[in-house]
């Protein structure tokens, strides 16, 4: 669904958070009463309208046959779908992913939720443990916390959002903990059991010590793996793949079979809708026009939709240094940005990573309100030939906007030339 369902919940959760800030913004109202049924109904209506449109598009297009059923290969050019056989010249596999369930004793027996089920629960649980501290775990923990659930996150690695800039992971961790969410890192769940009375108990090892957690529900948000490759009988088509990495592809998205390509989550990396859509364009050109366009992951952006959001494109400071480059970083705190103060969203900062020798932009990471909306400034700059950040520093930005934080970060690469009014830069 392209993540729309969680984003509708993010919308509801943010509205609830603002409703609790009457003292800050100047209104009096009793604490909002969360109506989970209504939150779900809103989500379902929005999702249904999008799904319906997509289905209608497929059904109405005269060139497209929507075949419902489970596909199984009989050969490189033959498929059986629940008994009906079809022949095809080319194949593109876009079968997606399913939640990865870690092998924890007792987990399957006691039962758990995943991203596919948790948003459809009839009632909110009183308490929930979330296994997984990546983007999914972080989005869900804040949502459910704002809906009134007592949430604990258990992250196996030593930091949340391990693929993001380290400074930003740590900053977000503090922000979420300050909001009241219990987040534990270096936490490995060893065993799960159901107690008499119905609650679930987890035995967890945290940095060498054993700790016990109890909750009403467990949410597994430990990543996703390619859907059930086995039932497709890929070998019959000569397509190689495995449950961990998904379908094996070359740089032009081609599989080991000369007439088959793969796109989207099933190729086991960059599990984001916009990457699937980008890959789709490449695969179709390669499959139908005989081209061999390569896909490029270095400029694929991403955003974690927590509040504040974490948005990133290109290399982090650490990644760039690891490549042996001389790196300089331009930074701007959001609390110095006028618009951020005006709307009461002052947490976070912008980081612009530049190669010191070539002055070229290498990456941009933003932790802020609407960071995902600010990110295209970096996305666009990375696509230019010279990757210069001059447009960021030289353009006239509207004042007051959050984007001035991006301009200021770029300008701060040359601090002596920075003029506070031209960047909308406020003193502390």
Partner 1 sequence: MENHYDLAVIGAGMGGIEVASRAAQMDARVAIIEHGKVGGT
Choose the binding region for partner 1 from 30-38, 47-55, 345-353, 409-417 (rule: CB under 8 A). Answer: 47-55
Choose the binding region for partner 1 from 84-92, 104-112, 137-145, 201-209 (rule: CB under 8 A). Answer: 84-92
- If one asks whether residue 92 binds partner 1 (CB under 8 A), the answer comes out as yes
Binder among 24, 33, 65, 123 for partner 1 (CB under 8 A): 65
Contacts of partner 1 in 283-312 (CB under 8 A) = 283-284, 287-289
Binder among 67, 190, 294, 390 for partner 1 (CB under 8 A): 67
Residues in binding contact with partner 1, number by CB under 8 A = 54
How many Cβ atoms sit within 10 Å of the Cβ of residue 190?
A: 12
Give the residue with the Cβ less far from partner 1, 215 or 287. 287
Cβ density class 85-102: b for 16+ within 10 Å, e for less = eeeeebbbbbbebebbee
Copy the structure tokens of residue 212.
């016990």
Name the DSSP class of 27.
-
Give the residue with the Cβ less far from partner 1, 28 or 68. 68
Binder among 7, 14, 42, 90 for partner 1 (CB under 8 A): 90
Contacts of partner 1 in 234-263 (CB under 8 A) = 263
- Closest approach of Cβ 380 to partner 1, in Å? 22
d(CA 291, CA 287): 7
Binder among 10, 16, 97, 354 for partner 1 (CB under 8 A): 97
Q: Which residues pair with 327 in a beta bridge?
A: 355
d(CA 208, CA 257): 47
Choose the binding region for partner 1 from 29-37, 79-87, 145-153, 373-381 (rule: CB under 8 A). Answer: 79-87
Burial of 48 (0-12, 13-18, 19+ CB in 10 A): exposed
Distance of CA 180 to the CA centre of its chain: 22
Of 112, 197, 109, 199, the closest CA to residue 154 belongs to: 112
d(CA 424, CA 156): 41
Give the residue with the Cβ less far from partner 1, 94 or 201. 94
Copy the structure tokens of residue 299.
């400029």
Q: What is the per-residue binding string for partner 1 in 9-28, x denoting contact by CB under 8 A?
A: --------------------
Give the residue with the Cβ less far from partner 1, 279 or 353. 279
Choose the binding region for partner 1 from 55-63, 173-181, 188-196, 210-218 (rule: CB under 8 A). Answer: 55-63
Copy the structure tokens of residue 346.
């002052």
Distance of CA 154 to the CA centre of its chain: 18
- If one asks whether residue 121 binds partner 1 (CB under 8 A), the answer comes out as no
d(CA 422, CA 334): 16
In Å, how far are 118, 193, 373 from 417, measured between CA atoms? 51, 61, 27
Binder among 18, 22, 85, 235 for partner 1 (CB under 8 A): 85
Copy the structure tokens of residue 330.
């331009």
- If one asks whether residue 139 binds partner 1 (CB under 8 A), the answer comes out as no
List phi, psi (to 5°) of 232: -75, -15
d(CA 8, CA 115): 14
Copy the structure tokens of residue 224.
């996703």
Q: What is the per-residue binding string for partner 1 in 177-216, x denoting contact by CB under 8 A?
A: ----------------------------------------
Choose the binding region for partner 1 from 91-99, 128-136, 149-157, 298-306 (rule: CB under 8 A). Answer: 91-99
Q: Cite the active site residues.
A: 399
- Interface residues with partner 1 (CB under 8 A) are 1-2, 47, 50-51, 54-55, 57-58, 61, 63-71, 79, 81, 85-98, 115-116, 227, 232, 263-266, 273, 276-277, 279-281, 283-284, 287-289
């Amino acid at each position: 669904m392209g993540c729309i369902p969680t984003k509708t919940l993010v919308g509801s959760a943010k509205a609830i958070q603002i409703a609790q800030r009457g003292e800050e913004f100047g209104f009096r109202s009793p604490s909002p009463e969360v109506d989970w049924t209504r939150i779900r109904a809103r989500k379902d209506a929005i999702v249904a309208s999008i799904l319906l449109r997509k289905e209608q598009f497929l059904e109405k297009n005269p060139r497209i046959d929507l075949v419902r059923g489970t596909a199984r290969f009989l050969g490189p050019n033959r498929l059986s779908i629940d008994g009906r056989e079809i022949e095809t010249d080319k194949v593109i596999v876009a079968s997606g992913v399913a939640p990865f369930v870690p092998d924890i004793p007792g987990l399957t027996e006691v039962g758990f939720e995943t991203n596919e089920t948790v948003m459809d629960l009839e009632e909110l649980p009183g308490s929930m443990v979330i296994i997984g501290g990546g983007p999914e775990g972080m989005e869900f923990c804040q949502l459910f916390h704002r809906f009134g659930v007592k949430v604990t996150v258990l992250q196996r690695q030593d930091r949340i959002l391990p693929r993001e800039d380290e400074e930003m992971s740590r900053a977000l961790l503090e922000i979420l903990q300050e909001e009241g969410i219990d987040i534990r890192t270096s936490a490995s769940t060893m065993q799960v059991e159901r107690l008499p009375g119905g609650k679930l108990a987890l035995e967890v090892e945290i940095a060498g010590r054993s700790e016990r957690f109890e909750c009403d529900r467990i949410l597994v948000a430990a990543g996703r793996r390619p859907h059930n490759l086995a039932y497709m009988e890929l070998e019959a088509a000569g397509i190689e793949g495995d449950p961990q990495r998904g379908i094996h592809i070359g740089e032009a998205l081609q599989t080991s079979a000369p007439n088959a390509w793969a796109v989207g989550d099933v190729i086991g990396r960059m599990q984001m809708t916009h990457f699937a859509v980008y890959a789709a364009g490449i695969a179709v050109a390669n499959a139908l026009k005989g081209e061999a366009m390569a896909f490029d992951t270095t400029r694929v952006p991403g955003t974690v939709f927590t509040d504040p959001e974490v948005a990133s494109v290109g290399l982090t400071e650490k990644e760039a240094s690891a490549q042996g480059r001389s790196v300089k970083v331009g930074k701007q705190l959001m609390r110095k940005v006028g618009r951020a103060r005006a709307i009461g969203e002052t947490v976070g900062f912008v980081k612009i990573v530049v190669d010191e020798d070539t002055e070229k932009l290498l990456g941009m990471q933003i932790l802020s309100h609407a960071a995902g909306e600010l990110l295209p400034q970096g996305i666009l700059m990375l696509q230019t030939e010279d990757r210069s950040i001059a447009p960021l520093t030289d353009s006239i930005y509207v004042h007051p906007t959050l984007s001035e934080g991006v301009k200021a970060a770029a300008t701060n690469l040359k601090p002596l030339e920075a003029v506070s009014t031209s960047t909308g830069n406020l003193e502390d």
